[in-house]
Amino acid sequence: MKITNKDDRRQRIKYRIRKRVRGTAERPRLSVFRSVTHIYVQVIDDLAGRTVASASSVEPTVKAKLTGGARAGNLKGAVVIGETIAERLKAQGISKVVFDRNGFLYHGRVKEVAEAARKAGLEF
């Protein structure tokens, strides 16, 4: 794969990460995707090929939590997404996950999602 732009670079890193990171029923994969304006998080069981839980900044329930300077595309909004996904997983009895940064650098909004999920009780 020849790298010609930022997306190609991210895809290459993503494939390299996914060679090592697999989600199981006991320890699913927490995958983060960020766009310019929104953040999306999915928890995936790769062996069964299904999404266990998801949260995104476009959902009406999450949008209601975005108050006090938190928006869908900033750090405070990422914290809300991390807390939301942790609550949803705890309700299903899942406390351990494998983190997949999806080719993005572990910094900024991706890091805030991870730290908020850890603080809310997820282990990874």
Residue 60, domain member (yes or no): yes
pLDDT in tens, the chain (124 residues): 688 898 999 999 999 999 999 999 999 999 999 999 999 999 999 999 999 999 999 999 999 999 888 999 899 999 999 999 999 999 999 999 999 999 999 999 999 999 999 999 999 9
Full-model pTM: 0.90
Residue 23, domain member (yes or no): yes
Domains held by the chain: number: 1
Residue 1, domain member (yes or no): no
* CATH number of the domain that residue 35 is part of: 3.30.420.100
42 three-class SS: strand
Distance CA 19, CA 68 (A): 40
Residue 124, domain member (yes or no): no
